[in-house]
Structure formats: C-alpha cells, structure tokens
Structure 1
Amino acid sequence: MQTPRILACGDSALSVEFGETIDPDINGKVLALDDALRMRSPAGLLETVPTYRSLLVQFDPTLTDYDALAALLTAEAQGLAPRASTGRRWRIPVVYGGEYGIDLEDVAERHGLTPRQVIDRHAGAVYRVYMIGFLPGFAYLGGLDPTLATPRRTQPRAKIPSGSIIIGGAQAAVGSIECPSGWHILGRTPVRSYAPERDPAFLLGAGDEVVFEPVDASRWDMLDREAQAGGVVAEEIRP
C-alpha cells in the first residue's frame, strides 16, 4: 500500500492503515508514525494505539476535526520509513507441556512431530511483538515457525491461565491475565507481562523482541514466587 488509507472510527478517532498483512516493515511504519506523533503532539491528539498494520488515533473533536487531522496524518505518513531499530529483547522462561501446556501433545501429533520437536521449534525462534491488545499486556507475536501454524480450536475454552504461551494460526502470543481463548496452549510462563502495581505496568511493548527459554517444571514454584514478589523474572538481553 503506497499511500496509507485513512478511515473514520466514530466521531473522535481515525485509523491509518499501512497494509493488509503481518509484515515487519508495515508494522515498522506504524511504529514510526506513532513515534512521530508522540514527538509532534498535534493539537487535539488524545491517544495512539499501534496494531499489526494500522495506527488508531484518538482525538478531541472540540480541538481539531477529522479533515484537519486526516490531512496532517496523510502528509506525515508519506514516504515514512519503518522505525529503524527494534526495542528491547526479552528472554522469557517457559514450562512446556504437562499441566502447563495442555495442547502440546495434540499440536505435535497434528504436525507429525514429537513434543520435543515442537518445543525446539517454538523456542528456537526470535519473535517480534507486533502489538499489545485484547487484554492488558497481551502480546501478539510474529515469527512463529511456519511448520507450527495451527488453526484455532473449534471449541474455545472459557478460560486459560495467566501467562499462557499460546499459538493460533500463524500467530504466537504471551498471555497476560486469565481469559477465554481458542488458541492452543504450549506452555506457561511465570512472567507477569501485566502488573498494575508495577511501573511500568506493561513489561512488553510493540517493537520489542522475545525469545523463549524452556525450563523444567521443578523451577515453576520458585520463579512464580519471585514474580509474585515483584521480580521481573524475564531477562532483558538487549536494551
């Protein structure tokens, strides 16, 4: 998409769409526009929300209007280069399988793999955090090994545990709080990606990277206690 598409979202928001696919360059342009607006802070701007392929811009209609803001955003987005650098890289511990990853064996059987092969492929990737959404701190990831792509469950579960490490289609995710889901649970992390008492409350941000570290179930209690006490548990391996 050479020229971003501007779409109205009610009377106090609009969306700037840069494409229609999950692509790091498209997402990089979303984040670059987000950065530019934060630096410029045009009149009436209230909040920006980056997604995979678009930026939602919320505004105060008493201070600006759709036409003026759409013109400004169109000009700002013309020839915009993707954000040059990624954010932080996090190493996140995961207990795979068993009670922590109840779908691991089914996913392995579906793809003609052993559970160990699924773990190795899932933990062998470097994931990009494309967006935070659906729930506070819920991180949508790109970078899943294509051989693990798995359609979502035909019968969603009413709830899955906080910290679930899940896949759905070609996407992967780090879950935050207990929630309903049709995604497949490969494991669980004690990391609190969302902790409202912490500053900042969100651990991961759009543009960050994630790698997963398989850990033995015998370490869960220790790591979970550390996280419960306020420890980050995840390791920041690149600023």
Structure 2
Amino acid sequence: MTEKSKRPLIRTVGLSGILITFAERMNESANRAALAFRAAVDAEHWPEVRETSTSLVSTFLEIDLAITPIDAITERIEDLLSQQDWTSAPLPAGRTLWHVPTVYGTDLAPQLEEAAAVAGVDPDAAIAEISTSRVRVLTIGFAPGQPYMGELSETWNIPRQEGLTKSVPRGALVIAIRQLITFTNASPTGWRHIGQTAFENFRPGTPNPFALAPGDELVFPSITPQEFDRISRKDTSGNGGATHEVLA
C-alpha cells in the first residue's frame, strides 16, 4: 500500500485474526481511521469478531480463521471500508479529555532543556507549547495502560536519544518523534524526560485498570514543584490532581 493510494491493506495474522492498515507510517488521519473503523466494526456486532484493538495506524479484528471462511469475512470488511473515507471520519463519541497537572524541568524532569535544545527552541517556549497542546492517545503499548500520545507540532519531531536513561519514575512525561508518553511504572527509556506527573495510567484491582483508552485526549498544564508535592501527598485516587470530562 502506498500513502497516495490511501487504500487500506487487509492482511491475515496467522489464524488469529485480520489486520486492516490505513498507512505505512504514523499520521493523524491514519490513526483517526483506525479508531473510527474499530468503532464501526464494534457497532456491527459481527459474531465472528471476538475482540477489536488498534495500533498507531491499524485496526485488528480477533477472529478464529480456522473456522471462519476468510473470503466471507473479508468481503464484509471491504464492504464496510467502502462506505466512507475513514481518514476523515468523526472520532468515536464517549472519549475522555484529561487535564493532567505537570511539572516541567527542575530535578523532577531533568531533560527538558536538552529536548528544547534538540528542537531548537527556548525552554520557556517549549513549556508554553507543550503544556497547552491537546494530544490524543494514539495507541496503548509497551507496558500495561501506557499511552503513546500525539501528534505535537513538527518542532517536536526530535529523535530518541542515542543512549538509554537507566530509569524514569512512574508518571514521567517523555518526548520523541512528535509524541508524548506518561510512564506506567519506573522504566528505562530512550525518550527524554521533560515533565513529571502524579497520574497513574495503570490501576490494578480497580473496575477500569487502564485509565486511558485510544482516542482519549489530554492536556498537560504546567504547575510548580510545590503544587506537585501537594498533589502527590493529598490525591490518593490515582488521578494525580487531574480533571476529566467526556467528549460528546
């Protein structure tokens, strides 16, 4: 599949299901298509589909292809794909918008200045842009509940660092390739640590252990280290002082 054709590529994944891919690389419209098409398949309630999920630019349908005729299910997928341009489809309703308080720089997030230098901007300008940018959860991966969020402006199309940071703490906000991640748990990373939150993505033992889902949106407003310390001590909900609302 080429970017120009914009024709989704339908492939089987062994006997476990079918992958519908909307682009060769990450872009906003392809991610939009993957989210919207997944919602459309869910609304169809096809009995053969056990579960659906998305990656950055693809929708996966879990289907037992050992017992499901591939031609019949592929025809149904193609028919649904033909009904609209999924790259400009509305995003699914019922998503959540989060405002997550974040400390930028300081000893809590020591690589902000380095990231700003790589991007070619002043650290204060970096904070002003990133803290007001509204990003979407593109996919969940690497660790339970861990979101890849974007896309930021082209300014932040910066590479991963060449080395590896031995560990960043839970709630760390890191940046690379126009995307942000908040870490579920302490972990090594090649992404630069620019902010620190008290937000918990993974909440085992609760009815909804993943706080975020693909399609949710987030803003990371800037707070002081003193505000962060107060939130860390007082907010035991896992929200880390965050507020949220349902998007229509």
In 2, distance between residues paired with 1:176 and 1:192?
6
5 Å-filtered alignment, 1:18-97, equals 18-80=22-84, 81=86, 82-84=89-91, 87-97=95-105
Q: Which runs of 5+ in 2 are unaligned?
A: none
In 2, distance between residues paired with 1:234 and 1:45?
35
In 2, distance between residues paired with 1:237 and 1:13?
34
Residue 187 (structure 2) aligned to one of 173, 179, 186: 179
How many residues are treated as equivalent by the alignment?
238
In 2, distance between residues paired with 1:84 and 1:173?
21
SS of 2:100 mapped into structure 1: strand
Q: 1:231 to 1:174 in 2, by over 3 A?
A: closer
Deviations 1:130-155 (A, max 9, x none): 11122211111113132233210111
Q: Which residue does the alignment assign to 1:100?
A: 108
Deviates more, 1:91-100 or 1:71-80: 71-80
Residue 7 (structure 1) aligned to one of 3, 8, 11: 11
Q: Which residue does the alignment assign to 2:214?
A: 206
Q: 1:84 to 1:221 in 2, by over 3 A?
A: closer
Q: What is the CA-CA distance between 1:2 and the residue it aligns to?
A: 3.8
Q: Identity over the aligned pairs, expressed in percent?
A: 26
Q: Which residue does the alignment assign to 1:135?
A: 143
Q: Which residue does the alignment assign to 1:196?
A: 204
Deviations 1:162-196 (A, max 9, x none): 11111112222222222231111101110112211
Q: Which runs of 5+ in 1 are unaligned?
A: none
In 1, distance between residues paired with 2:231 and 2:186?
18
Deviates more, 1:210-219 or 1:43-52: 43-52
CA contact under 8 A between 2:104 and 2:196: conserved in structure 1? Answer: yes
Q: What is the CA-CA distance between 1:56 and the residue it aligns to?
A: 1.5
